[in-house]
Structure 1
Amino acid sequence: MTHPFENLDPAQTLKVLPRHLAGPGEVDPHTVWAFPFDDGWHLHPADEGMVFATSPCARLWTRFDPEPEKRGKGTWTISANRIPFGPNAWQITFDATTPVELLHDVHAELLDLYLEDRHSDQDRLFQDETAPHEAYAPLLSHGWSHDVKTNGTQTFLTPEGLGGVQHRYAIRDSSGPAWRAWGGYPSEPHWRAHFSFGTPTTLVAAFTASLISTEPLHRTVQDVPAHTRRALYVATTTAKQPHGNTPVAPPPPAPASGRTR
């Protein structure tokens, strides 16, 4: 089956949609982490490319652990502790193959929550009152399907079926993730994300808003996963195509909801 990438040079830069199939992009903690390191946040390089960032209160920490030999190429982790260096109250993990723009938007929302709590009497990092539907309703308005199971889970799938978000709406066992997401074929996803029980729903909502955003992502042809390219749209190209004119498909028309950063 042909696709818009068929005759393009591997190094050519494109703008593509949907985001969940775009590939990871340039993996750089300085791009992903929106933290003010000149205002009390700390950056801690470690061995073998691992790097940590911690909040001034030492209750929030994030980590990037590259493992290029593994399928997910490593892990991005966000953890929150009610007391400095205490046990995790909640945790989010992403494969390193997750699009970096989604990672950036979640970390930017994390910083917003931290600053709101710091300058008020709120504690939304641990007592967030955002309703779950604020995270999944935008998916429905964007054409995603919805399947509810009697085991307490509901699953939302992308229109082309190559990505999804699952929510445990009836949590009886807090040991597993309350939310999980993936991009690609469910049996062989490009990336996976897990949000533990207790994770602020505001962070999940920031993730889903970024996931369905219609702002295209910059990628080179060689960075886009090959076996799902047929489902991608090329919004624009930034260099002359080397082998004639390849059709350019329009992006999906529905706008995304959520905050604009």
Structure 2
Amino acid sequence: MPSAAPVLVQPLRLAGPGDRHLVTDTLTALHGWSSTRTPESQTRFTSPCRTAALSVNGDVGSPVAWTVHGYTTPGAEPLWRASFSSGTPAEVVAAFTAALAEDLSARHYLQRASTPASVLADRGWRPSEHSPKGFHDQVAPDGWALYRHRLGHQPHEDEVSRLVPPTWSMLAGSPQQPSWCAEFTIGVPFHPLTQAAAAFSTPGPVLRCADEIPARHLARVTVLRRPSGRSTHPAGPVEAGRPHLPPARPAPAARRR
């Protein structure tokens, strides 16, 4: 099978970065975010209300890192930050940014009964017995991803400036040497965070070119089949169009966020 042949891969979190247009086209075409080029050679997408901005660090054909900042008012100092390192699947980034854009369009952040921790628990992620001091980890059933919640309070500006660890993190690959990570500071809207966690934990499958799958993940992913049709470009999850989350129900009071 040619290396560029499209295949269906699961789980999503180990499938590789995918198509960046899954993130950017949704923001510009559906939600009216504007695009500019910054002096730092980043592409910056800004919401119509100018209270959120996505910075894309990386040119076409190169690895991409994504950073989203939220503001209370246009021109103010950032209130929160969400960042996705190079290698993060575009579906995870898109789950966060699409939910954020939808909430901003509606002029309010949606409240959901589900939390990231409860979504992961419902999918078999369990508390780790080896969480570092000051953190609470949930580990994927295969052991190759974790969701980390930092305990205690730190000033939000220190988190945004990366002076202290973020409140929430998603790490995929070996826990000791993750292939990619996403960080979310205190103040990140909870609906987009929960949608990102849902994408992070979905089994998939997703469409990728065979040579896009990271070599270190080949022994950990399942290639289901070669899809029919002519498309050779990565696409969203096969279940796209269905709700990202399971039916909302009140989460047990003892569960962590």
Structure 1 position 57 matched with structure 2 position 39 = no
The match for 1:228 is: 217
Give the secondary structure class of the aligned counterpart of 1:231: coil
Q: How is 1:89-128 mapped onto 2 (pairs within 5 angstroms)? A: 89-117=79-107, 122=108, 124=109
Structure 2: segments with no counterpart, 5+ residues: 160-164, 229-241, 248-257
The 3-state SS of whatever aligns with 1:222 is helix
Q: Does the 8 Å contact 1:62/1:79 carry over to 2?
A: yes
The amino acid of 1:136's aligned partner reads A
Q: Aligned partner of 2:70: which letter?
A: A
Is the alpha carbon distance of 1:236 and 1:130 closer, same or farther for their aligned partners in structure 2, counting shifts above 3 Å?
same
Structure 1 segment 68-107 matched on structure 2, within 5 A: 73-107=63-97
Unaligned ranges ≥5, structure 1? 1-7, 240-254
Q: Residues of 2 paired with 1:38 and 1:24: CA distance?
A: 22
Could you list the per-position Cα deviations for residues 115-137 of structure 1 after superposition, in whole angstroms to 9, with x for gaps in the alignment?
221xxxx4x3xxx7657x61111
Q: How does 1:170-181 map to 2 (within 5 A)?
A: 170-172=152-154, 174=156, 175=159, 176-181=165-170
Secondary structure of 2:93's aligned partner: helix
> Map of 1:6-25 to 2, 5 A cutoff?
8-25=1-18
Shift in CA distance, 48/9, structure 1 to aligned 2, threshold 3 Å: farther
Give the aligned partner of residue 32 of structure 1. 23
Give matches, 1:167-206, under 5 Å. Answer: 167-172=149-154, 174=156, 175=159, 176-206=165-195
State the percentage of identical aligned residues: 23
Given that 1:154 and 1:166 are in contact with CA atoms closer than 8 Å, whether structure 2 keeps it comes out as yes
Q: Deviations over 1:212-249 (max 9, x none)?
A: 2243111122111112211211222137xxxxxxxxxx
TM-score w.r.t. length of structure 2: 0.76
- The answer to whether 1:42 aligns with 2:34 is yes
Give yes or no for contact 1:135–1:202 (8 Å, CA) kept in 2: no
Counting only pairs closer than 5 Å after superposition, residues 204-219 of structure 1 correspond to structure 2 as 204-219=193-208
Structure 1: distance between partners of 2:199 and 2:55: 21
Match of 1:142 among 101, 123, 128: 123
Indicate the residue corresponding to 2:58 in structure 1: 66
TM-superposed deviation, 1:152 = 4.2
How many residue pairs are counted as aligned between the two chains?
225
CA contact (8 A) 1:65 1:74 kept: yes
Name the one with the larger strand percent: 1
TM-score under structure 1 length normalisation: 0.75
Query: Which amino acid in 1 is paired with 2:202?
Result: S
Alignment RMSD: 3.0
Aligned pair in 2 of structure 1 residues 18, 141: CA closer, same or farther (>3 Å)?
same
Q: In 2, distance between residues paired with 1:164 and 1:195?
A: 14
Distance 1:48 1:215 in 2: 35
Q: What is the letter of the counterpart of residue 99 of structure 1?
A: P
**Equivalent residues of 2:47, 2:101 under 8 A apart:** no
2:68–2:83 Cα contact (<8 Å) kept? yes
Distance 2:33 2:197 in 1: 26
